[in-house]
Amino acid sequence: MSNALAIATVTATLAQAVRTAAQEAVGGADVVIGRPEAPSGGTLRKVHVYLYQVTPNTAQRNADLPSRDAAGRLTQRPQVALDLFYLLAFYGDEARLEPQRMLGAVLRDLHAHSLLSRQAIQDAVAGEHILAGSNLAEAIDLVRLSPVPLSLEELSKLWSVFFQTPHAVSVAYQASVVLIEGDERPQPPLPVLQRGVDVLLEHFPALERIHIGMPDDAVLRPRPPSYPAAPLGSALLVSGRHLGGEAVRLRLTHTRLPVTKELPVSTVQGTANELLAELPDDTAARTDWAAGIYTVTVVTGNAGGSGTRTSNALPLALAPRIITIAPASPIKRDDQGGITLTITVSPPVRPEQRAVLLLGNREIAAEIRHAAAASLTFVAKEVPVAEDWLLRLRVDGVESLPFKRTGMPPRFVFDDALKVTVV
């Protein structure tokens, strides 16, 4: 079962899937949630995702058992089973067949992934703070997408409701089944621990998720996908419950090293339970921080420092960043077919940390060091000739990010600066 945000969550998840497919087919394409509307000027590349009809699901509408007993007491939450119908309208340069190219990519991906996966739903919820309370990803039954065959007459009637909107290349999809539970719930009495004593439970801060990105992600809609790890200079968008207070800060503690840092936070505008913290990337940070796994907690209290409360902990991977690679590509092998690479990394790698360079299908351990080092040496023997090998550095199990973010809306591309050619 899911709550009342289920319909909006299905729409956001479908829009994210359509956006990914459309951008793959036509660069710069975007998705608009709303009724079809032709571009007012030029040939803007876009896809409109419009929820045009909601109907009861015929198979599940009678599965809801009576929710109250003869005395009117609530025995279970009532539920409603729904089918959602969407119209996808494609706009672009007809001379370059952009609508048809986007249509083909979307049909291909929605056929290959007809079920809205839990991961896709979680990514969509993370990108929209207004969906923070959605629990559709926890539903037992996954929502299935299937194309709706519309006759010419049905298609004509559907487009006729869009007043003064010219027809565009379009396709209809059905999302089924969406089960929404009622909010009513029985109120069981609290257990009696001791007679004559009233016990009040305080509200402690609680963390639910961490989104890793850039500071402007807080206002971007839809929000770009979260990074898998956080390099220095990135931003942490932390969401949860009861995160307010006079003095709120984010505490990060390394799981293997004696490194504990506290970051100031700010409240994301328009939200009550989302905080923004930025990881520093100055000279001091590159010395004091260490790559690896951290536990993240929110610490709240008043300005005087009393009444401090600490939230539950969530894991965070702090990624190393490759700054430079020497020698420059192409790299010439020695007489035995070996190469020696010197990698400049941030933050520096400490002597007790394990650093491994991933080169092709090989793991190359760094040379021994006796102090924290920002420059690591890797010696590889019998390296084959290869072109555009993507380098990754793994420190204490956390890998550097081999991509960079570019464009608007933001998208991820492999970083050419991290590619090497061996000759």
pLDDT tens across the length of the chain (423 residues): 688 999 999 999 999 999 999 999 999 899 999 999 877 766 689 999 999 999 999 888 777 666 666 666 666 677 889 999 999 999 999 999 999 999 999 999 999 999 999 999 999 999 888 998 899 998 888 999 999 999 999 999 999 998 888 999 999 999 999 998 877 665 554 566 666 655 555 578 889 999 999 888 877 778 888 999 999 999 999 998 888 877 889 999 999 999 999 999 988 876 768 899 999 999 898 889 999 999 999 998 776 656 788 999 999 999 999 999 999 989 999 988 899 999 999 999 999 999 999 998 889 999 999 999 999 999 999 889 999 999 999 999 999 999 988 887 788 899 999 999 998
Q: Which 3 state secondary structure label does DSSP give 101? A: helix
Q: CA angle, corner 322, sides to 318 and 328, nearest 5?
A: 170
Q: d(Cα 279, Cα 403) in Å, to the nearest integer?
A: 19
DSSP 9: H
- Exposed, middle or buried by CB within 10 Å (0-12, 13-18, 19+), for 335? exposed
Q: d(Cα 391, Cα 350) in Å, to the nearest integer?
A: 20
Q: Which 3 state secondary structure label does DSSP give 118? A: helix
Q: Which 3 state secondary structure label does DSSP give 281? A: coil
Q: Which helix (H) or strand (E) holds 117?
A: none
pLDDT at 189: 47
What count of other Cβ atoms lies within 10 Å of the Cβ of residue 407? 11
Q: Which amino acid is at 301?
A: G
Sheet with strand 266-267: strands edge to edge: 206-213, 235-241, 274-278, 266-267
Name the token pair of 151: 């006759």
What's the pTM?
A: 0.55
- Exposed, middle or buried by CB within 10 Å (0-12, 13-18, 19+), for 58? exposed
pLDDT at 185: 65
Query: CA–CA distance from 16 to each of 49, 128, 257 (Å)?
Result: 10, 11, 39
pLDDT at 200: 52
Residue 324's nearest CA partner among 348, 303, 342 is: 342
pLDDT at 75: 66
pLDDT at 304: 60
